[in-house]
Chain A
Amino acid sequence: MATRPGRRAAIVAGLRTPFVKSGTSFRGLTALDLGRIAVSELVQRCELPPKEIEQIVFGVVIPIVQWPNIAREVGLAAGLPKTIEAHSVARACATSLQALTTAADAIALGEVDVAIVGGAEAMSDVPITYSRPVAQAVVAAAKGKTLVEKLKAFREISPRDLLPVPPAIAEYSTGMSMGESAEKMAKENGISREAQDAWAHRSHTRAARAWEDGTFRKEVMRVLVPPRFEEVVVEDNVVRKDSRLEAYANLKPVFDKKYGSVTAGNSSPLTDGSAALVVMAEEKARALGMKPLGFLKEYAYAAVDPAWQLLQAPAFAVPKVLRRAGMRVPDIDVFEIHEAFAAQVLSNLQAWGSKKFAEEHLGGGEPIGEPPEEKINPSGGSVALGHPFGATGARLVHQALRQMSARGLGTALVSICAAGGLGGACILTRE
């Protein structure tokens, strides 16, 4: 089957900070701090001569006005050569997958040999803005020449306009929050509360086991929290080491209190963290004597109407990436599926296995089929590990690659749903 044209992109290293619930250990840090921490440690660890790096592609989902191009600031703050070009990307929860595929394309075209890609999110540090009337008045006042003119600009402001506006995790086009959309999907696809809770429990149990048996040791760095450097964050703090299935049943639905099934327990929490990867042309890796963790074989993105099932685009992106790679579900050894909500993972899986869905949405033919459960998220997913939006894509790719090397497997598939009705998927191989 057709493979991607151009040079193959090898992923030679990856690293992430522990993922922590927002408002906890990293509450004093910005996404830039977190990005810098992960990137500088990554470069140190993989012993890549910094002068070899030509490009940084990085992203954050909640934009910060002070540094609109986070990729550039991360490179500068990490003390990397100031001559490395950098640009930022945004694709909601698939942002750092986008960073990877953007760099891979540049590598394929021969534009760059070596790139750092990744993303970060600091949900503890979100920009609080003012309402539009206030913002407009401030702009107008700045233009005023006299004090009277300056004050005049504020005449129309009502007390309500003075309330600060926090960013909402809601769709701009539909006004529905992520959680409400997950709730809608649970109902429309008939995903039961029990199935969601069981999935969440499984996610926590596997993540806890992975932390215990050292699976994450190579993937996750320790963070000495600035500016005091007193606290050392060693592990993800969302993972429940003592997850009990019964405990989930007691939680109240958050987004539809009366008829809902989506709870704090079966949703991914708001999380702070950062993750990064080193990607390079296959021959460059060989020249530098670096052993690739694996290769990006193929990727695909897709989109659905946000007002339909917001988090169902993986049901389109995954068949697409398989078709492009000329592969089938049984050919894949590991599936790393982003878990925004258990209801969303189960909806995605249901669609993959559904003949009806294939007929109605994919132009007929056989559905790709549901992978066996043990192949999916073997070390837990976002529900247990957390979901710093910008970092999740790179976390998934790295985790898939490590799974493969640890168990001597050859192929992995990463699937991510994202705000805006977007979805992304990629296939990774190891030789």
Chain B
Amino acid sequence: MKRTLSKVIYNRGISPSYHLLGLRWEGRIDPGQFFMLRPWSFDRFDPLLNRPFGVYRVFEGGIEILYKVVGRGTRIMTGLKEGDEVILIGPLGRGFPFMEGWEEVSIVSGGVGIAPFYHLIQWIREKGSFPALSLYHGGRGEEDLVGIEEFERAGVTVNIATERGTRGYRGLISDLFKRDLEKGKVRPSAVLSCGPKGMLKEVALICRERGIPCYVSLDRMMGCGIGTCLGCVVRTKGGYQRVCMEGPVFESEEIVWEEL
């Protein structure tokens, strides 16, 4: 069954707004898939709905979620303690593709959008594949640069942009990525991206202009996460599709960006 009562192994802050939550879990997870999590008890109805989260890391007997505090639900989540029980539904949706022929892959992420990619890299390495990997990660400032060292340790070329210019390129990560593409510093066979809507649109456009296949993970408010409520749809060339079932990862050319 894909619905379990899981237990909190640990929950700790790693920066003022980013936290790591370790949960008991066993099974196979494709990179980019997600879980619906209820960080409070079933009979507390405000907030009412479960929250979707990707998987940052998979370890023996558990998963780690990297989360950012953005509202009430994630604030309540910071109060979870070792041993607490939570409803965990998943793994759900369709994750990132990875094709054997890809020699070089660029990842473009913004803020907490970095979350699904550490697991992706773990997974690629475990498969015994060694494409050249570059990460383009952006944020407002230092506070959005979590987990960067782990990517470096995993052999990923890391490029940083901050809007305030406190580290790396000053400005938007999509601009840095575009500049590097123009200079020929990276020549990705495919681009994988997750982050704020504006960034995703920009990355999709950059890839379209150059004919590079691009896959984006979309963030939508979800009612159920399992395909029943039809609340999380996005407009695609083939009509409305559910982010929770047909996504969260879509080929960027499928999305009708003007309506996102």
Answer yes or no: are A and B bound together in one complex. Answer: no
A interface list, Cβ under 8 A from B = none
